[in-house]
Homo-oligomer: A and B are copies of this chain.
Amino acid sequence: MERLSLNQKTVDQWGVRQVVDGCARAGIGAVGLWREPVADIGLEKAAKLVRDAGLRVSTLCRGGFLTAADPDARAAALADNRRAIEEAATLGTGVLVLVVGGLPAGDRDLPAARRRVADAVAELAPHAQAHGVRLALEPLHPMYCADRAVLSTLAQALDVAERFPVDRVGVAVDTFHVWWDPQIDAQIARAGARIATYQLADWVLPLPADVLLGRGYPGDGHVDFPALTAAVGAAGYTGDVEVEIFNADVWAQDGDEVIATVVDRYRSLMS
C-alpha cells in the first residue's frame, strides 16, 4: 500500500480537492496529477493542497505532443513543455510524463516524426534538469500511433531515453500500453533504472467506441499483472505504482467506490 498512487484520471469525476480528500480517506499516500484539473483550481493552490495533505505527487501528466514539423507549432509545443516542467517542480514531483504526439495532419512520415521527438527531448532535457524534473517517455499502444504517440514500444522509448543521463530522461511503463509486446520482459530488464513510473490499467474487451477510454480496473481483463510487476521489480524499480484508468463507466461511479476497488485490486494483484 505504501507504493500505491492514485492517478487522478481514474477519478475524473473529481477535482483536485476531492482527489486529495479521497486519498486521505482511503489512506493512499501518493497521487498522479494532470495539468488541466490542476489549472482548474490554480497551480499554487493545488500544490498547497497536496503538500498540506502530506501526499506525494508521483507524476504530472503530461507534456509531449512534440511531433509538429511546422516551426511555429514546434516552438509552441516546446514552450508548453517548459511550462509543464515548471509546473511539475512547483507540484513537488520529480516526474513529468510525456505523451509524444502522433503524425501531423496529412503527414505519413513516421521515421521523421520520431526523429523530431528525439530532437525535442534534447531541447527540453536541460530545462528539466534545471528544475529537478525527470522526463518520462511513455510508449503508447500502437493503436494510438497515428494520433497520440509515435513511440509505440518500450524499446523505442529506450532508444531515445538512452541518449540522455539516466536521471534526466526515463520511461513510463504502463501495462495497458505494453502488455502485448513480445519483447516486454527483455525491454523492462533493459530499462532498469530508466523506469520513472509504473502504471496499471487492464486491457478489457470489447474496446469502447472511443478507444482512449478502454482502460479497465486491473484484474478485469487480459493483462498478466503479476508477471509484469515481477519484471519491473526485478529491473530494480521501487517507486510508486500508479493506477490510471480512463473509463466512462468508472467515471460514472462514486469516487470513493472507485478508490475502494482500486485498493482492493492493487492488494490482490501486488501481493
Contacts and interface: CB of A to CB of B under 8 A. Distances in A.
A142 B211 contact: no
Contacts of A211: 143, 207, 211
Nearest to A184: B110
Task: State the majority secondary structure of interface residues on A.
Answer: loop
Interface residues of A, number: 31
Nearest to A142: B180
A142 B209 CA distance: 17
Nearest to A109: B224
Contacts of A109: 224
A135 interface: no
Contacts of A223: 108
A110 B143 contact: no
Interface of A: 103, 108-110, 114, 141-143, 145-147, 152-153, 155-156, 179-182, 203, 205-207, 209-211, 221-224, 227
